Homo-oligomer: A and B are copies of this chain.
Amino acid sequence: MTTAIASQSLTLTHDLPLDCGQSLAAARIAFETYGELNADKSNAVLVCHALTGDQYVASNHPITGKPGWWERMVGPGRPIDTGRFHVICANVIGSCMGSTGPSSIAPDGERYALRFPVITVRDMARAQIALIDALGIERLHTVVGGSMGGMQVLSLAANFPERAARVLAIATTARHSAQNIAFHEVGRQAIMADPNWRGGSYYGHAAPDAGLAVARMAAHITYLSEAGLTEKFGRRLQDRAEKSFGFDADFQVESYLRYQGSGFTQRFDANSYLYITRAMDYFDLAEEVSSGGEGSGKLADAFAGHAMGKGARFFLISFDSDWLYPTAESRHVVHALNAVGAPVSFVELSAPHGHDSFLLDVPALDRVVRGFLR
């Protein structure tokens, strides 16, 4: 893992308060922008990225050289049209592409490693708000994101109801389920079981790439549907006519997973993976507004700032093949918004790719996103 030099970054002059009770001094937020900001600053669209995403939403990744992760959605003439909108995408705090995270240098001149405070999705949203404050943007035209990006979108809307006119949350949830937490815990255990992890203090040494690759492999399965995997790979063998009767990657799906795992370690920091999965597991929007213990929050209360149409317009999108954050999770948010009388639209799209559908070629997604930003 090499730390990239972000093309733009902001260093906060105030301490960023965190849910854990600590605060981050001189936090750095790395970001990219696309398209011109208009004179009254009313055309800004904030795109929030997912767990392993970054600010390179519509430009080449500086390490891999690959195109931006949402180029089919963001660009000239695209549904989020950079000819019309000023698109902002910031690396989340805790990550490793230029924003302050566990691999960053702490004020004492040493890497944070596990001294980095455990952050939450709300902390990520606070950093997004600090960025648009610095850019002088009072109200976003739209805040949009899929997966963990969608969690930030919901958190930003709940905690800063006046800061976005349109709220678009895709393939996401207002809380991590037991199964979601379980899959993340497997990944964290894989990383922490790697002797190279050294209690998080591996900087300057070999990184825990083997553990991180296993974590990525396990997570990657949850991003795809069973039917999608069957269609893409089935039981087809990889570059061979017969089974090898050994432990090589006989099946294409094995080869693909190994490639996903090892490729990921080139661009991602294992400690960032621990911190960001933890933030996702802690995410429960109803819990945040509750005074008591588990389950005592009411999700509708989280959206009180949008009561009776005085807040944003909402749009929720789910995919029928997404078993990580199934449609029921989006409906749960829709019902909460209905309960406070906030204007909300919802659509479940049919797509074969599972959770990853929000990143892939789903023409219906392009159409509905374009329509919502009209």
Contact = CB atoms under 8 A, between A and B. Distances in A.
B177 A247 contact: no
Interface string A8-29: 0000000000011100000000
| Copies of this chain present | 2
A221 interface: yes
A188 B232 contact: no
A28 to B, nearest CB: 21
Contact of A214 (B114, B189, B251, B284): B189
A261 B193 CA distance: 12
Nearest to A256: B182
B182 A117 contact: no
A310 interface: no
A287 B237 CA distance: 13
Contact of A193 (B179, B182, B211): B211
A186 B241 contact: no
B221 A182 contact: yes
A178 B245 contact: no
Contacts of A177: 226, 229-230, 235
A237 B294 contact: yes
Contact of A182 (B183, B189, B236, B253): B253
Given A193-B211, A247-B274, A186 B234 contact: no
Contact of A178 (B190, B230, B249): B230
Nearest to A190: B214
Interface string A227-249: 00110111111000101011101
Contact of A213 (B193, B194, B246): B193
B294 A229 contact: no
A178 B253 contact: yes
Given A247-B278, A281-B251, A232 B178 contact: yes
A181 B217 CA distance: 12
A245 B123 CA distance: 13
Contacts of A21: 245
Contacts of A179: 221, 224, 226, 229-230
B258 A189 contact: yes
A235 B186 contact: no
A235 B189 contact: no
A185 B294 contact: no
Given A178-B226, A185-B258, 20 more contacts: A19-B245, A20-B245, A178-B229, A178-B232, A178-B251, A179-B229, A179-B230, A182-B229, A182-B254, A185-B217, A186-B217, A189-B213, A189-B217, A192-B247, A193-B211, A193-B213, A193-B214, A195-B195, A236-B294, A243-B282
